[in-house]
Amino acid sequence: MQVLKFGGTSVATPKNIELIRKILDEKTANSPVVVVVSAFGGITTLLLECGKQAAGGDENYSKPLAEITQRHIQMVKSLIGLKNQGKTLSKIRILLNELEDIYRGIYLIRELSPKTIDRILSFGEIASSTIINDAFQDKGYNCRLANCQELIKTNSQYTRAQLKKEETYKRIRKHFRESEASVTFAPGFIGSDDEGNTTTLGRGGSDFTAAIFAAALKVKQLEIWTDVSGMMTADPRIVRSAYVIRQITYEEAMELSHFGAKVIYPPTIQPVMEHDIPVLIKNTFHKDDPGTIITRDVPAGEDRLIRGLSSISNIALLNFSGSGMIGVPEYSHRFFKALSAASVNVILITQASSEHSICVGISMDDAKNARQAIESEFQVELHASRIDPLLIEENLSIVALVGSSMKEQVGVSGKMFSTLGQNGVNIKAIAQGSSEKNISVVIESNEVKKALNSLHESFFLSDKKKLNLFIIGVGNVGKAFLSQIKKQRSYLSKYHHVDLCVAALANSKKMYFESSGISLSNWERDLKEKGSKMNLKKFLEEMDTMNLRNSIFIDNTADEMIANCYEDVLKMSISVVTPNKIACTQSIEKFISLKKTGLRYKSKFLYETNVGAGLPVISTLSDLIKSGDEINRIEAVLSGSLNFIFNNYNGERPFAEIVKQAMSEGYTEPDPRIDLSGIDVKRKILILIRESVINMEMEDITTIGFIPETCMNAPTVDAFLSSLLDHEDHFRALYQKADKSGKKLKYVASFNKGKAETGIRMIERGHPFYQLEGKDNIVTFNTRRYPEQPLVIKGAGAGADVTASGIFADIMRIANS
Ligand SMILES: NC(=O)C1=CN([C@@H]2O[C@H](COP(=O)(O)OP(=O)(O)OC[C@H]3O[C@@H](n4cnc5c(N)ncnc54)[C@H](O)[C@@H]3O)[C@@H](O)[C@H]2O)C=CC1
Ligand SMILES: N[C@@H](CC=O)C(=O)O
């Protein structure tokens, strides 16, 4: 004998019932089958709705009733051939007439008692099982309909009747001893009491019916056929990477179900648990999917520390505290008694060992009742300030890790808390029972998605890390960065287990968000056509609302407004990576504050490309300092564009032409005046000085400029370029002076004995800077450990590709952190 149960969605349409037929064809080849069915999908809700409307005196109750009638008649007509239709139609019409009479009665007396609710709800399963049984008979199956009101005996606790187990099991066994049917269809959810009144078995009742049959008949396995392929590691609507758990224990299944995995309702598996009967969860719509098997133990090898993640929303946290509570046992007794008397269900309890407070999680729907109950119970103590006014926090959720194997495993909660902490998820309360099968935390509801995803990644996909990138600036550097991501993505996923997801893109005109990842093949078109008007405030709000784990904000602009928002971004526990030098060169207070904010909110602030583009200048310096070295002197050529310009200018082509070439090759700042004025170099040396833990400001650095003041005063970039052309003689003279003495012009930055200088210099042959080619940079560090021969870093110091690769390196630093 086999027992299978098909839920409401599985029997909702004739097409679905055809799928059930295919499943039963395979099953009946082995042994007889009991098929427990639910009401057709949506009918139970309509039946109840209709009853409520009738009880409320609303004549429109006839509308849901008409829908109920129409659905059932339609099912008969679609499932049963013309020859046999009439018989079934008359059975259904009799049931419908009875139902109509009951609703009429409810309408007249304006009362819907639990007993009547059971009567009307029973229609759903009785009608569905009757129609399905007749449909299979019509197709020639040897099938029979079981009368569950006769077989399943309960007490008279209507709407959640208690099973009379022994009597029920006896009746079921007798029924099947006498039955020769290959398939027995049985309506789920219903039974009857000693007076023969219809009862229902409460929430999840059809699963319960199936479990009762399975236990009574001591079958090898109970199969619950539903619309998902088993119990999943997390809710797939929230965690895309969730997957089906192959095997799980009864207890874990109950924990997960309690916390929202609605695949089965825990009490329903009690009868099969008693007899150690495994429960197989299968998908009617993908019958070949292996599903989830629920057993007492999970064999070794199938073991995983955590079996699944779950969450319950709509939680309120009551904080009951007061100095008068310490060491007085009576307080907790009275607290819980008051809640119980007010029918407030307590979902989670924590009490710190100081005994100064008790914190309980309840449904938000119960919060008002709970407050009234506690305030009335502790009226006197509140008045005497022995306890504090009750604090209730709302809009919270519980997120739980579930797994029997957690028991006595060190580090699980540590991993849970650090994962949440790294993603900026604040934990308001924690609970772990001594059974160690469940660790629950209470968090803000708007953090649930991020919490579940980051926990899932850390416990189930520990070999993969997904980074969500929010990118502002898709110009020269930004574009190169996106094309590097596109090219490297599959390599990084395969060999470094890092998945890069571009969750947002923006330029000065448009912004575009896609939490599942923007396609990098069409991003330009999508940004232009699907993007909305760029608005920094809205960009930040949207990024905050999306609340994705491992988020990184990447600023590829040279914009001050954007640099000014890093502090807010870091406070969202979102890391910042940027080639934009503005934030690091604002006042030292602001710079230090950014670093502190990053530390406090566990978000990284990385800006390797601020100096030397893709060259590892800042990371090398930072390593020196962290390891205890001290900087004595820095000498550097830090401008790629100026080096390019001086290397290419020899008085033949105009200086302005060479500047334009540096611009078009992507070496200059968006505004080339920042390079030519020396501001860019000043910023870079300041960053190196600050990285050496020496406080300095931009104004403390002396600069020897070489651009005539009239050029610098030009109002626009174009005016600046034509002004350079007007001063060609000035540049030629500069060049010739150096050339005549066998020297080269270089724009040098230095820091020595607490003083920093930048400016143009004539470099003699033999100096390490003399041979510096193209757009290269060179940085030399004389330190306590490198006193004579400096540590030298040299290479291309400007250009979109090298800069993008430096941004990439920062991203990978975060991935690996
Ligand atoms: N080009 C290079 O070799 C290096 C550049 N950098 C830095 O990289 C950054 C970007 O440089 P490029 O790509 O050359 O500049 P770019 O001018 O080519 O691109 C800037 C991008 O930022 C966007 N943008 C500007 N203001 C914006 C705002 N308020 N809101 C939204 N988007 C805005 C623009 O629309 C554009 O997409 C600069 O901070 C620069 O200092 C750093 C190292 C080397
Ligand atoms: N414009 C800079 C490049 C970015 O830092 C330079 O010329 O070096």
Tens of pLDDT, residues 381-435:
999 888 899 999 999 999 999 887 776 677 788 889 989 998 889 999 898 765 6
| Ligand 2 atom closest to the CA of 609, numbered from 1 | 5
| Ligand 1 atom closest to the CA of 806, numbered from 1 | 43
Strand, coil or helix: 74:
helix
The pLDDT of residue 78 is 96
The pLDDT of residue 357 is 82
Name the pLDDT band for 546 (thresholds 50, 70, 90).
Answer: confident
User: CA-CA distance, 21 to 11, in Å (whole number)?
Assistant: 11
The pLDDT of residue 97 is 96
For 617-798, CATH gives 3.30.360.10
Q: Is the CB of 485 under 6 A from ligand 1?
A: no
Share the mean pLDDT of the chain.
93
Name the pLDDT band for 328 (thresholds 50, 70, 90).
Answer: confident
| Residue 497 DSSP class | -
Q: Is the CB of 778 under 6 A from ligand 1?
A: no
Contact between 95 and 149 under an 8 Å Cβ cutoff? The reply is no
CATH number (3.10.129.10, 3.40.1160.10, 3.60.70.12, 3.40.30.10) of 2-219 reads 3.40.1160.10
Mean pLDDT of 473-478: 98
Q: DSSP strand E in 383-518: where?
A: 391-402, 429-432, 438-444, 465-472, 498-506, 510-513
Identity of the amino acid at 420: L
Distance 669 CA to ligand 2 centre (A): 6
Distance 321 CA to ligand 2 centre (A): 59
Of the given ranges (257-271, 363-377, 661-675, 784-798), which has the lowest mean pLDDT?
257-271
Q: Is the CB of 579 under 6 A from ligand 1?
A: yes
Name residue 471's beta-bridge partners.
505, 554
Q: What are phi and psi of 727, to 5 degrees?
A: -105, 25
The pLDDT of residue 322 is 85
Extract the tokens encoding 622: 């930072």
What is the location of CATH 3.40.1160.10 in the chain?
2-219
Q: What percent of the chain has pLDDT over 90?
A: 80
Ligand 1, from 471, 474, 476, 539: best to mutate by most atoms within 8 Å of Cβ?
476
Residue 84 burial (C-beta neighbours within 10 Å; 0-12, 13-18, 19+): middle
Mean pLDDT of 72-78: 97
Does domain 308-443 correspond to CATH entry 3.40.50.1400?
no
Q: Is the CB of 475 under 6 A from ligand 1?
A: yes
Q: Is the CB of 799 under 6 A from ligand 1?
A: yes
Nearest to 124 by CA among 234, 232, 46: 46
Mean pLDDT of 64-69: 95
Strand, coil or helix: 395:
strand
Q: Is the CB of 506 under 6 A from ligand 1?
A: yes
Name the pLDDT band for 326 (thresholds 50, 70, 90).
Answer: confident
Distance 708 CA to ligand 2 centre (A): 21
Extract the tokens encoding 708: 């005539």
At 218-256, the pLDDT tens digits run 999 999 999 889 988 988 888 888 889 999 888 888 888
At 756-800, the pLDDT tens digits run 999 999 999 999 999 999 999 999 999 999 999 999 999 999 999
* pLDDT value at 738 more than 70: yes
Distance 712 CA to ligand 1 centre (A): 21
Sign of CA dihedral 539, 541, 544, 548: negative
Q: DSSP strand E in 550-622: where?
A: 551-555, 575-577, 605-606
Q: Is the CB of 639 under 6 A from ligand 2?
A: yes
Mean pLDDT of 129-158: 96
Contact between 742 and 688 under an 8 Å Cβ cutoff? The reply is no
Name residue 396's beta-bridge partners.
315, 444
Nearest to 334 by CA among 365, 367, 364, 376: 376
Contact between 481 and 801 under an 8 Å Cβ cutoff? The reply is no
User: CA-CA distance, 16 to 72, in Å (whole number)?
Assistant: 15
Nearest ligand, CA of residue 580?
Answer: 1
What is the location of CATH 3.30.360.10 in the chain?
617-798
Mean pLDDT of 514-518: 92
Contact between 39 and 125 under an 8 Å Cβ cutoff? The reply is yes
Q: DSSP strand E in 24-152: where?
A: 33-37, 143-145
Q: With left for phi above 0 and alpha for psi between -120 and 50, is residue 154 left, alpha or beta?
A: beta
Q: Is the CB of 567 under 6 A from ligand 2?
A: no
Q: Is the CB of 749 under 6 A from ligand 2?
A: no
Ligand 2, from 668, 684, 717, 746: best to mutate by most atoms within 8 Å of Cβ?
668
Name the pLDDT band for 316 (thresholds 50, 70, 90).
Answer: very high
At 5-42, the pLDDT tens digits run 999 999 999 999 999 999 999 988 878 999 999 999 99
Distance 626 CA to ligand 1 centre (A): 31
Nearest ligand, CA of residue 800?
Answer: 1
Query: What pairing do the DSSP bridges indicate for beta strands 755-764 and 701-704?
Result: parallel
> Residues with Cβ < 8 Å from 217, sequence gap 6 or more?
1, 3, 34, 172, 173, 176
The pLDDT of residue 355 is 63
User: Which residue, by CA, sits nearest to atom 43 of ligand 1?
Assistant: 613
Nearest ligand, CA of residue 507?
Answer: 1
Q: Is the CB of 675 under 6 A from ligand 2?
A: yes
User: CA-CA distance, 670 to 227, in Å (whole number)?
Assistant: 56
Could you give the ipTM of this predicted complex? 0.99
Name residue 362's beta-bridge partners.
316, 346
The pLDDT of residue 84 is 94
| Ligand 2 atom closest to the CA of 777, numbered from 1 | 8
CATH number (3.30.470.10, 3.40.630.10, 3.40.50.720, 3.30.830.10) of 465-610 reads 3.40.50.720
Residues carrying an active site annotation: 684
Mean pLDDT of 636-651: 98
At 492-504, the pLDDT tens digits run 988 888 999 999 9
